[in-house]
Chain A
Amino acid sequence: MAEKKSLFKEFSKGIIIENPVLRLVLGTCPTLATTTSVQSALGMGLAASIVLVCSNIVISALRKVIPAKVRIPAYIVVIASFVTIVQMLVKAFTPELDEQLGVYLPLIVVNCIILGRAEAFAGKNPVLASAVDGLGMGVGFTTALFLMSTVREILGAGSFYGISIPVLSNNPMLIFILPPGGFFVFGLLMATVNKIAESRGKPRAELRGCEACPMAASCTLHNAPQPEPEQKSEEATA
């Protein structure tokens, strides 16, 4: 029973408490780029989740085989293989989604969420826990993309999942599906999430691109003294 409970905890932490986009501020590039419509956002979330779960499983299974010194290149090879598989599947079965996602589909390789989870969790934990962790993070990522894209598509195109909404579709505010709208909606979403987090006594989400970056340990820029106090997540310090 205790094990079941902790597995559920691994799953649920990725959705709310440690939501990769809204709390850890990772994977900002696809969050901004693919949320112009709900359809492409869900496609992106699903593709990234599949890669995340599969690479977490394989990396966790190989964690005793991979030497610590070359683990980053090894992780990248595993992740890139799964991205290639997903890329082929998407090209074959949903070519219109492939067109919408374009260059962002192969760029899942360098999505910091996936390499970050490999480094912080899958490289140290058993297979089942890693799979559940990947699934939770994937659902969290997809949820964040869904929220962003709902706002942007309804305001910017006057539709939801391609179905036009009567009054709004007469004069949609095009700016919301243009690049500036992405930054703007993401900014307001972060403000909202921070407000909720603060009211519950949790720290605000800050940009911690550096700590999450798998290269942080070897990076002199990160190790140099920084003007702001650093907030590290539990995984980053572990």
Chain B
Amino acid sequence: MEMTKGLLMILMTAILTQNFVLSKFLGICPFLGVSKKLNTAVGMSAAVIFVMALATAVTYPINLLLVSKNLAYLQTIVFILVIAALVQLVEIILKKYIPALYSALGIYLPLITTNCAVLGVVILNVDNGYNFAQSMFNSVGAGLGFMLAMVMFAGVRERMESCEIPKFMRGLPITLVAASLVSVSFLGFTGIVEHIFG
């Protein structure tokens, strides 16, 4: 019981209070670049959740091995290479065996290789000293939080298309200010997780 509570707390914290995009600023590039339409936002986020969970599952035993051999300083190099190889492998396997899933997620996969959110979640799991279950919950939570932010922001941007925006704010500046307001709304979740589970 106590353990499930802890895991749920990690999950909810990753989604709401410590949202990857809006409070940790990881994965800003896809957040600003791919959020113009709702369907691409959903596709991209689904691919991110998938890769984050997979990367965590694969890097967890690798990290144990590195630590046991006193090679912990190689973490950064090993993780980025493992993630890059993993994404390529997943792309090939999906293309060959599950074409339906490939057509839905495949086009987003190459983008994710150099995405700081995926490497970020793996490094954060190690830094926080999470065990396997905690790492998985944190990764899935981070992915879901990314999806929540992307979907909400896609909605905001679709509304903005039809607005009269002052000339000097058009384009990127107004997008960033809108992101700032979405981020303010997430500040409202501060403390909520502790209240529910604490």
A residues apposed to B, CB below 8 Å: 25, 28-30, 32-33, 72-73, 76-77, 80-81, 83-84, 87-88, 102-103, 106-107, 109-112, 115, 175, 178-184, 186-188, 190-191, 194-195, 204-207, 209-210, 213-215, 218-221, 224, 227
- In the complex with contacts A32-B28, A84-B76, A179-B172 CB distance below 8 A: no
Closest to A108 in B: B76
B residues apposed to A, CB below 8 Å: 22-30, 32-34, 36, 40, 73-77, 80-81, 84, 106-108, 110-111, 113-116, 119-120, 123-124, 127, 168-169, 171-177, 179-181, 183-184, 186-187
- Asked if B116 and A110 make an inter-chain contact with CB atoms under 8 angstroms apart, the answer reads yes
Counting chain B CB atoms within 10 Å of each CB, the highest count among A103, A107, A178 belongs to A103
- Asked if A191 and B173 make an inter-chain contact with CB atoms under 8 angstroms apart, the answer reads yes
A87 vs B76: C-alpha distance in the bound complex, in angstroms?
10
With A76-B81, A186-B176 known, 11 other A-B pairs at CB within 8 A are A30-B25, A33-B24, A77-B81, A112-B114, A180-B181, A194-B173, A206-B171, A215-B113, A219-B110, A221-B40, A221-B111
- Asked if B111 and A215 make an inter-chain contact with CB atoms under 8 angstroms apart, the answer reads yes
> What residues of B have a CB within 8 angstroms of the CB of A112 in the complex?
29, 114
Write 11 A-B pairs (CB below 8 A) sorted by A numbering: A29-B27, A32-B28, A73-B84, A80-B77, A107-B119, A110-B114, A183-B179, A183-B183, A191-B168, A209-B29, A219-B107
> What residues of B have a CB within 8 angstroms of the CB of A29 in the complex?
25-29, 116
- Asked if A107 and B110 make an inter-chain contact with CB atoms under 8 angstroms apart, the answer reads no
- In the complex with contacts A84-B76, A103-B127, A110-B171 CB distance below 8 A: no
- Asked if A179 and B33 make an inter-chain contact with CB atoms under 8 angstroms apart, the answer reads no
> What residues of A have a CB within 8 angstroms of the CB of B173 in the complex?
187-188, 190-191, 194
Counting chain B CB atoms within 10 Å of each CB, the highest count among A183, A188, A224, A227 belongs to A183
- Asked if B77 and A187 make an inter-chain contact with CB atoms under 8 angstroms apart, the answer reads no
- Asked if B110 and A191 make an inter-chain contact with CB atoms under 8 angstroms apart, the answer reads no
- In the complex with contacts A110-B114, A190-B172, A207-B32, A180-B183 CB distance below 8 A: yes
> What residues of A have a CB within 8 angstroms of the CB of B115 in the complex?
110
A219 vs B111: C-alpha distance in the bound complex, in angstroms?
7
A110 vs B84: C-alpha distance in the bound complex, in angstroms?
11
Counting chain B CB atoms within 10 Å of each CB, the highest count among A33, A180, A186 belongs to A180
- Asked if B176 and A215 make an inter-chain contact with CB atoms under 8 angstroms apart, the answer reads no
Closest to B19 in A: A179
- Asked if B32 and A179 make an inter-chain contact with CB atoms under 8 angstroms apart, the answer reads no
A206 vs B177: C-alpha distance in the bound complex, in angstroms?
15
Instruction: Choose from B74, B119, B124, B184 the contact partner of A109 (Cβ within 8 Å).
Output: B119
Pick the 10 closest A-B CB pairs, nearest first: A187-B176, A183-B180, A191-B173, A33-B25, A209-B33, A184-B180, A80-B77, A180-B183, A187-B177, A32-B25
A76 vs B22: C-alpha distance in the bound complex, in angstroms?
27
- Asked if B33 and A180 make an inter-chain contact with CB atoms under 8 angstroms apart, the answer reads no
- Asked if A88 and B23 make an inter-chain contact with CB atoms under 8 angstroms apart, the answer reads no
- In the complex with contacts A180-B181, A183-B177, A221-B29 CB distance below 8 A: no
> What residues of A have a CB within 8 angstroms of the CB of B23 in the complex?
179
Closest to A88 in B: B73
* B6 shortest CB reach to chain A, Å: 22
> What residues of B have a CB within 8 angstroms of the CB of A80 in the complex?
76-77, 80-81
- In the complex with contacts A110-B115, A183-B177, A188-B173, A210-B33 CB distance below 8 A: yes
